[in-house]
Amino acid sequence: MIQVIVERDSVCMADDGYAPNEKKFWLDDEAQVYEIFKELSLSAYLPSIAGNNDKWDCFINDVLVCKFGKNIENPNYTVDETSKIKTIGHFNES
């Protein structure tokens, strides 16, 4: 299993109280990149963004994998969305 640890910036002062805004979940060893966004979409982890052109940048091990705005269901991938998570960047095996 791969433990996914997601951390996002705060979007307003009230959100700062939850900083560092971390979410952890597990995916199968063979999980693909798109499965992270499926999980995040189901969990309502990401708050709405008020601005029209604001984007979330999403990284796996310091590698930009996608950008998306208000609609997490339509991420703009910078890598193949079916890439296995474990093949992106450097993972710390423990």
pLDDT in tens, 40-92: 878 878 777 666 677 788 889 889 999 887 667 678 899 999 999 999 987 66
Cα atoms in the Cβ-side hemisphere of radius 13 Å centred on 8: 18
pLDDT at 23: 87
- The total number of residues shown for the chain amounts to 94
Surface-to-core class of residue 92, CB atoms within 10 Å of its CB (0-12 exposed, 13-18 middle, 19+ buried): exposed
pLDDT at 79: 94
